[in-house]
Amino acid sequence: MMATPSAQSQRGAGKAPILSYRNVVKRFGNFTALNGVSLDIYPGEVVCFIGPSGSGKSTMLRGTNALDRFDEGDVILDGNPIPTSENEARHLRRRMGMVFQNFELFPHRTAIENVMIGPVTVLGIPKQEAQSSALKLLEKVGLADKTENYPANLSGGQQQRVAIARALAMEPELLLFDEPTSALDPETIGEVLNVMKVLADEGRTMIVVTHEMSFARRVADWVVVFERGEIVEQGPPEQIFDHPHTERTRSFLSHLGWSG
């Protein structure tokens, strides 16, 4: 199926975007990492960012939660430009849960402590309450029996599921995943993708940078293809994976060995 204008207008079902990027530019010295990117994300969508390494996908996420700043353009979150002061940026980061390729758990804290620490220290939630919420979240990601394990005593897939529970503990409006399965042994990738699918089915708004094309094909509502700091194509997964409109999308997918 082609992405018809009606498919485009059904997107978001008449809702306002939760996030809008408007002509975003990011430079590192005289290298342009993002060259005027505009994109809308609607509430409840799973949007997958795909594209070659170095195309600007992580830079997009880092600018979204103000870990880094764009040089030009705006990011509008729920109608308001994202803040530029560090103080406001901290507040913004609480609204977005970020899951990184390398988990970034606190090594000297147990799984449950990793999940509790944000709610207790940042949100001021009483310890007992935070603990019982953390337990529920660890159950949700399938780790009820690993709550007292330290990260070193968890597999990569288990660590990443703790990291997802930790992100959820802050009750974010938006979840950002930056290649969450790229550092995992193949046999643990599926357990992480399954948890992400559950979150998608709950209607959470998620931006997922991924090289897992079959996940993107199955779970994404919208797929954005980046190359050299620009969007070369965006559309529903059926378009991107089955009937790409651009040669650059086709060539990227065929390099990955994607054959539909």
| Residues at the interface with Mg ion (CB under 5 A) | 58
Binding residues for ligand ADP, rule CB under 6 A, total 10
Choosing among ligand ADP, Mg ion, none, which partner's interface includes residue 106 (Cβ < 5 to 8 Å by kind)?
none
Choosing among ligand ADP, Mg ion, none, which partner's interface includes residue 59 (Cβ < 5 to 8 Å by kind)?
ligand ADP
Assess 224 for contact with ligand ADP (CB under 6 A).
no
Can you tell me the distance from the alpha carbon of 224 to that of 237, in angstroms, rounded to the nearest whole number? 9
Q: Which is closer to Mg ion, CB of 56 or CB of 119?
A: 56
Choosing among Mg ion, ligand ADP, none, which partner's interface includes residue 55 (Cβ < 5 to 8 Å by kind)?
ligand ADP
DSSP assignments along 99-116, one per residue: E-TT----TTS-HHHHHH
Assess 53 for contact with ligand ADP (CB under 6 A).
yes
Can you tell me the distance from the alpha carbon of 229 to that of 24, in angstroms, rounded to the nearest whole number? 10
Interacting positions 26-45 with ligand ADP (CB under 6 A): 28, 31, 33
Q: Which is closer to Mg ion, CB of 25 or CB of 76?
A: 25
Can you tell me the distance from the alpha carbon of 115 to that of 169, in angstroms, rounded to the nearest whole number? 6
Q: Which is closer to Mg ion, CB of 21 or CB of 42?
A: 21
Assess 57 for contact with ligand ADP (CB under 6 A).
yes
Q: Is 30 helix (H, G, I), strand (E, B) or coil?
A: coil
Assess 239 for contact with ligand ADP (CB under 6 A).
no
Among 17, 48, 55, 100, binds ligand ADP (CB under 6 A): 55
Among 39, 41, 58, 177, binds ligand ADP (CB under 6 A): 58
Residue type, 27: R
Can you tell me the distance from the alpha carbon of 106 to that of 76, in angstroms, rounded to the nearest whole number? 31
Question: Of 9, 36, 12, which is closest to residue 205 (Cα–Cα)?
Answer: 12
Q: Which is closer to Mg ion, CB of 54 or CB of 203?
A: 54
User: What is the nearest approach in angstroms of ligand ADP to the Cβ of residue 109?
Assistant: 28
Question: Of 66, 170, 80, which is closest to residue 118 (Cα–Cα)?
Answer: 170
Q: What dihedral do alpha carbons 177, 255, 155, 123 form, nearest 10°?
A: -10
Assess 65 for contact with ligand ADP (CB under 6 A).
no
Q: Which is closer to Mg ion, CB of 109 or CB of 211?
A: 211
Choosing among Mg ion, ligand ADP, none, which partner's interface includes residue 37 (Cβ < 5 to 8 Å by kind)?
none
Q: Which is closer to ligand ADP, CB of 61 or CB of 130?
A: 61
Neighbours of 58 (CB within 10 A): 19
Q: Which is closer to ligand ADP, CB of 117 or CB of 183?
A: 183
Q: In b/e form, how buried is each residue of 74-100, taking b as 16+ CB within 10 angstroms?
A: ebbbeeeebeeeeeeeeebbeebbbbb
CA distances from 165 to 112, 144, 168 (A): 9, 11, 5
Residue ranges binding ligand ADP (CB under 6 A): 28, 31, 33, 53-59
